[in-house]
Structure 1
Amino acid sequence: MAAQLFKKTAYSSVYQKYMIPVSNEIMNLVLSYVKDKTNGQPLEMAVDVGCGYGRYTLPLAPHFKKVLGTDHSESQINLAKQYSSANNVSYMVAAAEKLPLEDASVDLVTAALAAHWFTVDKFAHEAVRVLKTKGCFAAHAFYPTNEVEYKDLSHDLNVVMSEVWDTLFQYNVNAEAVGHPLCQYKTIYEAIPLQDKEWITDIPVKIEMSIHEIIGFIQLLVMFQILIEKDMKKTEQFLIQMEKRFREILGEEADSARLTAHFKHFCVLACKH
């Protein structure tokens, strides 16, 4: 399901519009780790696996001589090429489990919001294969919590969000892929065949979002897309009721309110010796 979903051009465009912003904290964490492990030596090559439209690929450009973004989705790669703004960044359609790179040729292999969709063991070994000595691995993602803050209305908003997640989890047909983020990539940490590795969890991120943006984000979720395929009418009612309940809680402020949505980021880091 997920593999086909990301190949759809319409979905790629919506994903670009409603996915939450790049976490500067995570990017700084990854880059600091790489520079520490390489003792500040010049960095030649980074590959961002499952790069999507390049949102976590482009921030690597100032720090490496070359950056390659790979993704199995041609529509995502086409978007990435369209919005690319760095001369040292290129993109290619390729599977995460079979990277088009030579052995020991890469300083950093990273996967942002993507590793849980891969065949994890195969990807982990492929990443190690292409890494140079002292090369680094970084996989990071996030999950949304039920918590939404707005003035003294947070409790009522959180009740709605909890019910939304309860409904969507009924359509979790890919329990393993969803399970990786819910355990904060513990399974991915364990799959990396390197001794020097770190697992960092519970990195809090708060993002201000409108009702429209929250609903847009929910529509990106694979579980929501499965609901659409199973029952379009039920999906439409689900969205209508969710927006109605938000508006009832927020009243006259519904169109102007910026709600604070809580997310938790997590990261697996490793170094090849």
Structure 2
Amino acid sequence: MSQRYFEDPEHARLYAKYRTVPPPNLIKRVIGYLEEKVDAKGRQLALDFGCGSGQNTNTIAPYFFRVVGLDISEAQILEARKKSPRENAEFMVSPAEAAPFSSSSAQLVTSCVACHWFNLPNFYKEVERLLVKNGVAAFYAYTLPSIVDHEKAEELNEALCDVIHGSLGRYWGDGIRHLENHYKEIDVPFSKEVVRESFISKSDKSLSDVVAMVTTFSAYQTMKRIEGNEAVEAMTEKFQKRIRESIGTAENMPSEKVTLTVKEDWSLVMGRKG
């Protein structure tokens, strides 16, 4: 059974606003790999599993006649439908292990920062069923983020790690291990060749955006549900205070004005149906 952590409507709203998109060079690599066997006219359908609020679905939409994002969370699908700018993108509620599509119907199946929560053996079988001959399965995700390009980066990351691995540590689901080991245990078992590549993305975020990013984590939402609002608010306030002390920011400077460079290490695993 899939692990379900993204059901709450407020969580879905935050997810839509603050979750990142995959780096462009990663998407180009996936499409380039597909193009080795499937030309533009053949790219009729892509299926994006665990689509959340649609960030990845909308990113791959320009390359296909039709793209469908699927997620087990109705709240996430409602957000995806509201936010999507793509006319050829559709969204539906569905488990990853049993999609309402015929066999050999999709040229590409993706899962972005999601498949580690699925029942992987059943998901792999479903992906193989759905793909056409020479169709591509691509699964990608980033490790938990880090703060870079700052003289106090070590201190800043200690503060971030204390939140991610300390305060939130016991609230992560089992699937988090796949992020921590860079998707080394994620597979495409029906493919003769499994491609594994790494990518890096960096972006400048305000301190308030970094805090908001933390609130999108499944572990944060679990802690909030178990310990209550006061506990998670105290944790994020402590985190912000440590960041400000490390970089010497005035207490009265708004968090929106405090800029940090955040790095994400992405891992791509993909293969082709023979």
Q: TM-score, normalised by structure 1?
A: 0.90
Give the CA deviation at 1:145. Answer: 4.1
Question: In the alignment, is residue 178 of structure 1 matched against residue 176 of structure 2?
Answer: yes
Give the CA deviation at 1:114. Answer: 0.9
The 1:21/1:258 distance shift into structure 2, 3 A limit, reads: farther
Give the CA deviation at 1:63. Answer: 1.5
Q: TM-score, normalised by structure 2?
A: 0.90
Greater Cα offset, 134-143 or 56-65: 56-65
Greater Cα offset, 223-232 or 130-139: 223-232
Identity of aligned residues (%): 25
Question: In the alignment, is residue 163 of structure 1 matched against residue 159 of structure 2?
Answer: no
What amino acid sits opposite 2:222 in the alignment? I
Give the CA deviation at 1:77. Answer: 1.1
**Distance in 2 (alpha carbons) for counterparts of 1:54 and 1:148:** 27
Residues 108 and 135, structure 1, Cα contact 8 Å, conserved in 2: yes
What amino acid sits opposite 1:29 in the alignment? R
Pick the aligned partner of 2:247 from 240, 247, 250.
Answer: 250
Question: In the alignment, is residue 269 of structure 1 matched against residue 270 of structure 2?
Answer: yes
Match of 1:211 in 2: 207
**Distance in 2 (alpha carbons) for counterparts of 1:80 and 1:167:** 32
Question: In the alignment, is residue 194 of structure 1 matched against residue 195 of structure 2?
Answer: no
Structure 2 residue matching 1:7: 3-state secondary structure: coil
- Please report the RMSD computed on the Cα atoms of aligned residues, expressed in angstroms: 2.0
1:28-177, aligned counterparts within 5 Å?
28-38=28-38, 42-150=42-150, 152-175=151-174, 177=175
Q: Which runs of 5+ in 2 are unaligned?
A: none
The 1:207/1:144 distance shift into structure 2, 3 A limit, reads: farther
Residues 18 and 213, structure 2, Cα contact 8 Å, conserved in 1: yes
The 1:262/1:46 distance shift into structure 2, 3 A limit, reads: same
1:8-47, aligned counterparts within 5 Å?
8-38=8-38, 42-47=42-47
The 1:238/1:124 distance shift into structure 2, 3 A limit, reads: same
Q: Which runs of 5+ in 1 are unaligned?
A: none
Greater Cα offset, 121-130 or 245-254: 245-254
Q: Alpha-carbon deviations, 1:83-106, whole Å to 9, x = none?
A: 223222222111100011111111
Match of 2:226 in 1: 230
**Distance in 2 (alpha carbons) for counterparts of 1:68 and 1:53:** 12
Match of 1:7 in 2: 7
What amino acid sits opposite 2:225 in the alignment? E
Greater Cα offset, 261-270 or 3-12: 3-12
Residues 9 and 75, structure 1, Cα contact 8 Å, conserved in 2: yes
**Distance in 2 (alpha carbons) for counterparts of 1:238 and 1:11:** 18
The 1:223/1:116 distance shift into structure 2, 3 A limit, reads: same
Greater Cα offset, 252-261 or 133-142: 252-261
Give the CA deviation at 1:269. Answer: 0.8
Give the CA deviation at 1:3. Answer: 5.1
Q: Alpha-carbon deviations, 1:28-87, whole Å to 9, x = none?
A: 121111112325553111111111121111222222111111111111111111222322
What amino acid sits opposite 2:173 in the alignment? N
Greater Cα offset, 159-168 or 262-271: 159-168
Structure 2 residue matching 1:187: 3-state secondary structure: coil
**Distance in 2 (alpha carbons) for counterparts of 1:29 and 1:97:** 26
Give the CA deviation at 1:173. Answer: 4.7
Residues 114 and 141, structure 2, Cα contact 8 Å, conserved in 1: yes
Query: Would you say how many aligned residue pairs link Structure 1 and Structure 2?
Result: 268
The 1:110/1:153 distance shift into structure 2, 3 A limit, reads: same
Structure 1 residue matching 2:55: 3-state secondary structure: coil
Greater Cα offset, 240-249 or 114-123: 240-249
**Distance in 2 (alpha carbons) for counterparts of 1:17 and 1:249:** 27
**Distance in 1 (alpha carbons) for counterparts of 2:217 and 2:50:** 16
What amino acid sits opposite 2:137 in the alignment? F
